[in-house]
Amino acid sequence: MKSHEDVRKAVRKAYGEVARKERTSCCTKSTCGGGDQPVPEAELGLSCGDPVAFSQLKTGNVVLDLGSGGGKDVFLAATKVGPGGKAIGVDMTSEMLRLARKNAIKLRKATGLDNVEFRKGQIENLPVDDASIDVVISNCVINLSPDKPRVFREIHRVLKPGGRMVVSDIVLDKPLPDSLKNDNDLYVACLAAAMMRADYLQAIRDAGFRYLRILADSSYSFTTSTGSRVRKGTAASITVVARKRMMR
């Protein structure tokens, strides 16, 4: 079994290669998110859903994207919350942060918006103040974390009372064979470290969230570079919304 730091190193290496265009993404057309992307270069094909489309963002909202990559969902959110709002991305990969900040300049030139910020950090230890965020989004990232329950607790911490998270992610409907659990390709494809569906949803509830709903649910399959296959019915791409309770 890989240690937490081994997992992080593998993820940083793989996604650093994606940022440098040395590695192709694992996304398929059926799972990549959509939307009118103001910065086409930010689309790296790393999505498994479209959380922004389900987020019902409002002008003035403060949005946080976990594992923001090249900035795709941050930029989509920025156009929805407008100049009175803010979209923040957190990523632990230096190459991705450099790419996202470069893309932010393109956003400014294309739209006039200057309401995005990218911070370096791990999603298990978010560099974000308590109760400061209206909406947390994430797109095919939490499954990569070696401590997913802690991620959900961190999301709950940074959300304002009544705030919500909208997360697209990969979950398992059947256990992976032991032979695939340490496959680096499957880590990067968001499968090797994915949780069973029931455990994933329970981790959200255990973090303190209420009003949990699945908004989208589709089968997910993948073939590794060595030819190993994860067949349909084993994994699914889901989009989940859950809320933090209002203060009484």
Of 193, 180, 178, 188, the closest CA to residue 230 belongs to 180
Structure tokens that stand for 194 in this block: 């994915």
- How far, CA to CA in Å, does 167 sit from each of 160, 201, 239? 17, 11, 5
Distance (Å, whole) CA 226 – CA 78:
39
Element (H, E) at 216: strand 210-223
What's the whole-model pTM score? 0.87
In this predicted structure, what is the pLDDT of residue 157?
A: 98
Angle (deg, nearest 10), helices 4-19 and 94-111:
40
**Is residue 190 over pLDDT 80?**
no
In this predicted structure, what is the pLDDT of residue 28?
A: 44
* Residue with the two structure tokens 């909406």: 135
The percent of residues in the chain predicted with pLDDT above 90, rounded, is 60
Instruction: Please answer whether residues 100 and 70 qualify as being in contact, where contact means their C-beta atoms are separated by less than 8 angstroms.
Output: yes
How does the average pLDDT of the chain come out, rounded? 85
Instruction: Name residue 11's amino acid.
Output: V
Concatenate the DSSP letters of all residues of 127-187 into one string: SS-TT-EEEEEEES-GGG-S-HHHHHHHHHHHEEEEEEEEEEEEEESSPPPGGGTT-HHHH
63 SS3 class: strand
Distance (Å, whole) CA 169 – CA 30:
14
Domains of the chain: residue spans and CATH = 4-31+45-243 (3.40.50.150)
**What is the per-residue pLDDT across 52-66, written as a single tens digit (0 to 9) for each?**
999 999 999 999 999
**Is residue 221 over pLDDT 90?**
no
**What is the per-residue pLDDT across 97-140, written as a single tens digit (0 to 9) for each?**
999 999 999 999 999 999 999 999 999 999 999 999 999 999 99
